[in-house]
Amino acid sequence: MARQPLAARRAEELLGSSVVATSPVAGGDIATATRLRLSSGQTALMKTLPHAPEGFFEAEAAGLRWLAEVDGGIPLPQVLAAASDCVILAWIEQSSKTPAEAAVTFGQQLARTHAAGADDWGLDHDGFIGRLPLPNKTAGSWAEFYAVRRLLPYLKLARDRGAITDSDAAAVEAVVGRLTELVPDEPPARLHGDLWNGNCLWGQDLAIHVIDPAAYGGHREVDLAMLHLFGLTHLPRVVAAYDEAHPLADGWEDRLGLHQLFPLLVHACMFGGSYGARAGTIAARYT
């Protein structure tokens, strides 16, 4: 690995440890990722973003630390440092192996994380989902929170950006009016919040490690809905192990689409394409 002076110097300031070498890491959609080899022998990942929104990296670090509080919960990278311009995490060495046993363990770990709960719906500070702000001010119920903090803000942004038609938007609005009768009453779960397969890394230790959270207290079916939306190797094993450890409410499979509306609207805002139409089609099932 060569040494990128600017990244190395900033990492050394934050870590108090010399950086021996650096190398670029491909695959990041938002931040620039750099692999660091430290004089201690440890390998780390540094994520940077010029002109990052205020609190961007601090929110990621706070989410990782909050989720990591759960004993026996989902594996997460250790936060080594966080600042307004970057975050530095312990490196996760990935593997091409995807053993079924790891999926079972992950289902159990995700159940423990959710069961650890949250003080309320939302969080004591706002966050981010991708580059978009993620409002986390609490509400009186999950139905209210999901409506006013998740569906309606991104529906408005999608309409403003021309990413959803009026008819599809009307279908989503109709669902909002029925949320109190559609979602079961459960206490807030400790959510990862952006749990798609790209944020699930199969490690060389044969465990599934989770990165890039958009964490908050919410309904646990949200994380499961996102896993189903974008897929995960051995997902049925994950869900079976989860359900055994922390049984799901009756009808949860029928509500997957309901809780997929949020990520679909986020994707419509960020990428356009067919996501707005998919949200409208799914919403129509519940009206």
Which pLDDT score is estimated for 179?
Answer: 97
What are the residues whose beta carbons fall under 8 Å from the beta carbon of 48, sequence distance 6 or more?
7, 10, 31, 32, 34, 85, 86
Which pLDDT score is estimated for 193?
Answer: 98
235-239 long-range contacts, CB within 8 A, separation 24+ = 235/103, 237/100, 237/103, 237/104, 237/107, 238/103, 238/104, 238/106, 238/107, 238/110, 239/107
Q: Is 269 a domain residue?
A: yes
Which pLDDT score is estimated for 287?
Answer: 87
pTM: 0.95
Q: Is 95 a domain residue?
A: no
Among the three residues 90, 115, 136, which one is the final residue of a domain in this structure? 90
233-240 long-range contacts, CB within 8 A, separation 24+ = 233/98, 233/103, 233/197, 233/202, 234/98, 234/100, 234/102, 234/103, 235/103, 237/100, 237/103, 237/104, 237/107, 238/103, 238/104, 238/106, 238/107, 238/110, 239/107, 240/104, 240/107
Question: In this structure, what CATH number is given to the domain that contains residue 20?
Answer: 3.30.200.20
Q: Is 188 a domain residue?
A: yes
Which pLDDT score is estimated for 5?
Answer: 82
Q: Domain range for residue 123?
A: 100-284
Residues 237 and 144 in one domain: yes
Question: In this structure, what CATH number is given to the domain that contains residue 149?
Answer: 3.90.1200.10
Residues 276 and 241 in one domain: yes
Each residue of 251-261: pLDDT tens digit?
Answer: 999 999 999 99
Count of structural domains, the chain = 2
Q: Is 268 a domain residue?
A: yes
- DSSP per-residue letters across 74-113: ---PPEEEE-SSEEEEE---B-S---HHHHHHHHHHHHHH
Each residue of 169-200: pLDDT tens digit?
Answer: 999 999 999 999 999 989 999 999 999 999 99
Residues 17 and 76 in one domain: yes
Residues 143 and 161 in one domain: yes
Active-site residues, by number, are 194
Q: Is 212 a domain residue?
A: yes
Residues 203 and 261 in one domain: yes
Which among 210, 222, 286 has a CA at the least distance from the CA of 248?
A: 222
How confident is the model over 248-253, as a mean pLDDT? 97
